[in-house]
Amino acid sequence: MYLVDSHCHLNFDGLSSRLPEVFANMAENQVRQALAISVSRQSFAEVLAIAEANDHIFATVGVHPDQEDAEEFTVEELVRHTQHPKVVGIGETGLDYHWCKGDLAWQHRRFACHILAANQSGLPLVVHTRDAAADTMRLLREHQAHAGVIHCFTENVEVAKAALDLGFYISFSGIVTFKNAPDIQAAAKYVPADRILV
Ligand SMILES: [Zn+2]
């Protein structure tokens, strides 16, 4: 048995300066491959460079929902970047009503742009959702999203079911072990093992 880390930020401070050590820890713990997640135009360049230099690392392309002033990718740009052989997903994208308040039309537009790029390229979406499950699922349905993962899942069985119905995978993080997370634990019991990522 071996593991694939479906969501890491190898270009972030604290990791980027000690990649050999991180890779050694991965090997020691049977983590054979990892997906380095883009959160901005700048970080896409960084994660792609790491993926190009390391056979076992892959990358996504996208802009995270929690920075209003981040420079956007157009749908065309996203699709063009997916033609790179090491780019295997679109994101992370989604909605975040915890860190962002007020008129969030810009966040909805950015999310829609990523969904359209995923549809055009055929690559799966990496979806971040925080305090925004209803709108996240609504936009995925409205734009006919077909595949992806709801990452670091912190919702309930109902949302898990809606995501599974759309063909999505669910990824659980260490939060599922918290004593005050019975809803997430119930969702983890509900989701079939072959639809769970870590
Ligand atoms: Zn992330």
Q: In terms of DSSP H, where are the helices of the chain?
A: 19-28, 41-53, 75-81, 105-121, 133-142, 157-165, 182-190
Q: Is the pLDDT of residue 27 over 90?
A: yes
3-state helix, strand, coil in the chain (%, to 5): 45, 20, 35
Rounded to the nearest whole angstrom, what is the distance from the C-alpha of residue 7 to the centroid of ligand 1? 6
Rounded to the nearest whole angstrom, what is the distance from the C-alpha of residue 127 to the centroid of ligand 1? 9
* CA dihedral sign, ordered 55, 61, 65, 66: positive
Measured N-to-C along each axis, helices 133-142 and 157-165 cross at an angle, to the nearest 10 degrees, of: 10
**Would you kindly state where each structural domain of the chain is located, as residue ranges?**
3-197
Rounded to whole angstroms, the Cα distance separating 125 from 38 reads: 12
Q: Is the pLDDT of residue 66 over 90?
A: yes
pLDDT category at 1 given cuts 50, 70, 90 is confident
Rounded to the nearest whole angstrom, what is the distance from the C-alpha of residue 35 to the centroid of ligand 1? 10
pLDDT tens across 111-131, in order? 999 999 999 999 999 999 999
Percent of the chain topping pLDDT 70:
100
Rounded to the nearest whole angstrom, what is the distance from the C-alpha of residue 37 to the centroid of ligand 1? 6
Rounded to the nearest whole angstrom, what is the distance from the C-alpha of residue 26 to the centroid of ligand 1? 18
Rounded to the nearest whole angstrom, what is the distance from the C-alpha of residue 180 to the centroid of ligand 1? 22
What pLDDT, on the 0 to 100 scale, is given for residue 42? Answer: 96
Rounded to whole angstroms, the Cα distance separating 77 from 107 reads: 18
pLDDT tens across 136-191, in order? 999 999 999 999 999 999 999 999 999 999 999 999 999 999 999 999 999 999 99
Q: Which fold has domain 3-197?
A: TIM Barrel (3.20.20)
Mean of the per-residue pLDDT values of the chain: 96
Rounded to whole angstroms, the Cα distance separating 66 from 145 reads: 21
Rounded to the nearest whole angstrom, what is the distance from the C-alpha of residue 84 to the centroid of ligand 1? 21
pLDDT category at 67 given cuts 50, 70, 90 is confident
Rounded to the nearest whole angstrom, what is the distance from the C-alpha of residue 142 to the centroid of ligand 1? 24
Rounded to the nearest whole angstrom, what is the distance from the C-alpha of residue 95 to the centroid of ligand 1? 13
What pLDDT, on the 0 to 100 scale, is given for residue 198? Answer: 86
Two tokens at 29? 């713990």
* Cα diameter, the chain: 46
What single-letter amino acid sits at 78? L
Q: Judge contact between 36 and 13, C-beta under 8 A.
A: no
Rounded to the nearest whole angstrom, what is the distance from the C-alpha of residue 9 to the centroid of ligand 1? 7
